[in-house]
Amino acid sequence: MLKTLVEGLSFSEAPRWHEGHLYYSDFYRFKVERVNLQGVVETVAEVPTQPSGLGWLPDGRLLIVSMLNRKILRQEKGGELIEHADLSKIASFHCNDMVVDRQGRAYVGNFGSDIEKPGAKPAPATLALVHPDGRVESAAEDILFPNGTVITSDGKLLIIAETFGRRLTAFNVAADGALSNRRIWANTVPHFPDGICQDGDGGVWIADPVNHCVARFVEGGEITDKIETGCPSYACMLGGEDGRRLFICTADAAGAAAADSRSGKIQYIDVAYTGVGQP
């Protein structure tokens, strides 16, 4: 049975387990927060341009996706937020989730188009690669809503959720961060993968807001585990003292409908697999 760690959020996303805390962004409260296992919440940063994906540079500084102005912000040791990279030449609409590798390279997705506009159809988007010095280039194109992303512990494989493609797509990662050998890692139909995380047994957990669940896939598309959430689930992360606690970001609605809502929660359940985390 799911238990609740945090409630009263607007729309939490990008959960990351880091140094004994779960970090997350709350879109419409414009905050990055962290919570410990006892449910004590602290504000890490305030981002008026709406925070999303999170990750850390090798020296411990936090990177934050700034959605509405299509930038990555970097939090300095004293807490100041400064611009790390400008993605406006690559991102065709709001930036979204991100993964940062052990070298400090960030892979950042974007919406592709304004999906909330009446009659709008999803448009393919370009995944951005941001080098540690802030240099930006295209990593992969024609991705149908690039969303949750993980890099395997050996640093050689990147797996990304294509939400509207209903698939997990894999790329080989070269020593310089370039991506190649694109292929479908798992067809997730009928599930819509949003945020994802990985475990040490080769599985990738997806949060599915449409079918109100989280599900664990292995390469090839087999579902080994499924947890019903009873409401839309948007992201997930393994962490906790033994790495087996699955944290799930849920809310009654997304987009504009969530802006005035406080239905967002972070819930959790202990599972049989240990998370490998992210750098």
Q: What percent of the chain has pLDDT over 90?
A: 90
Q: Is the pLDDT of residue 118 over 80?
A: no
CB-CB contact of 238 with 196 (8 Å): no
CB-CB contact of 148 with 158 (8 Å): no
Edge-to-edge order in the sheet of strand 41-46: 12-18, 21-26, 31-35, 41-46
Give pLDDT, residue 34: 98
Give pLDDT, residue 116: 75
User: What's the Cα-to-Cα distance from 51 to each of 45, 69, 174, rounded to whole Å?
Assistant: 9, 10, 29
How high is the mean pLDDT of the chain?
A: 95
pLDDT digits (tens, 9 = 90+) for 17-43: 999 999 999 999 999 999 999 999 999
pLDDT digits (tens, 9 = 90+) for 254-278: 877 787 889 999 999 999 999 986 5
The CA-to-CA distance between both ends of the chain, in Å, stands at 29
CB-CB contact of 236 with 218 (8 Å): no
Of 123, 134, 119, the residue nearest 94 (C-alpha): 123
Average pLDDT estimate for 159-175: 97
Q: Is the pLDDT of residue 173 over 80?
A: yes
Give pLDDT, residue 69: 96
Average pLDDT estimate for 102-131: 88
pLDDT digits (tens, 9 = 90+) for 215-237: 999 999 999 999 999 999 999 99
**SS3 for 259?**
helix
State the CB neighbour count (10 A cutoff) for residue 124. 16
Which superfamily does 3-270 belong to? TolB, C-terminal domain (2.120.10.30)
pLDDT digits (tens, 9 = 90+) for 53-92: 999 999 999 999 999 999 999 999 999 999 999 999 999 9
Give pLDDT, residue 254: 84
Bridge partners, residue 239, by sequence: 245
Distance between CA atoms of residues 139 and 239, nearest Å:
28
User: What's the Cα-to-Cα distance from 254 to each of 11, 46, 62, 233, rounded to whole Å?
Assistant: 7, 20, 25, 10
Q: How confident is the model at residue 279 (pLDDT cuts 50, 70, 90)?
A: low
Give pLDDT, residue 257: 77
Contacts 24+ apart (CB under 8 A), 208-211: 208/233, 209/233, 209/234, 209/254
Distance between CA atoms of residues 194 and 11, nearest Å:
13
Give pLDDT, residue 278: 58
